[in-house]
Amino acid sequence: MNNFGKIRYKKDAIMDAAHIEKQLFTEARTHRSFTSKEIDDSILHKIYELAKFGPTANNACPMRLTFVKSPEAKQKLIEVASEGNRPKIKSSPVTIILAYDIDYYKQIPLLAPHMDAAKIEAQPKEERDKFARELSWLQAGYVIIAARHLGLDCGTMGGFDRAGTDNAFYLGTSWRSNILINLGYGDNETLRERAPRLDFDDACQFL
């Protein structure tokens, strides 16, 4: 590659990085309303295939995803959602129930063969469950970044009856609901003015 080619390659890389920064962070918004455009199942597959590579403690990977698409499943979810979140679920073509598996440790021999699975299983159940729930919060961030990378908009929600959701969707299983993420192509006309963020000096320090 000659010098001109190197300069052009570097310039293109900088432009790509700037675009990715806007798409994932600085121009990405939390959407409450979506257009009628559907999401292809292949994109939903890709969200998981990307998000699963985000790091978790001991590679435990407790996150489990339910892509709620059908009218019947949507209605079940709406019934356990808070009043303010019901229109958001109706608007989005897909809502993810981001759950965690309280029996995640049963996959440790596969996911982390260097770990002692029996030792993890022997821990108090409350500690194991808390560990899985907290890691699923971390993995939720990976899901959002993956979805934005694939051109989707997201709207996260915590206002719903978790016990009711578990009874409606996960009865008799080891999955437990944590948060909801609406997916789709956001309706920019309904966006509020962007709320401010803290400056570096207000949120960070050097020691």
121: left (phi over 0), alpha (psi -120 to 50) or beta: alpha
Tens of pLDDT along 16-37?
888 899 999 999 999 999 999 9
Report how far residue 155's alpha carbon sits from residue 164's, in angstroms, rounded to the nearest whole number.
21
Report how far residue 37's alpha carbon sits from residue 39's, in angstroms, rounded to the nearest whole number.
7
Query: Which amino acid makes up residue 109?
Result: P
Instruction: Tell whether the model's pLDDT for residue 157 goes beyond 60.
Output: yes
Q: What pLDDT was estimated at residue 13? A: 59
Start-end of H helices in the chain: 3-21, 41-51, 71-80, 86-91, 108-111, 117-121, 125-149, 162-169, 200-203
Tens of pLDDT along 105-143?
999 999 999 999 899 999 999 999 999 999 999 999 999
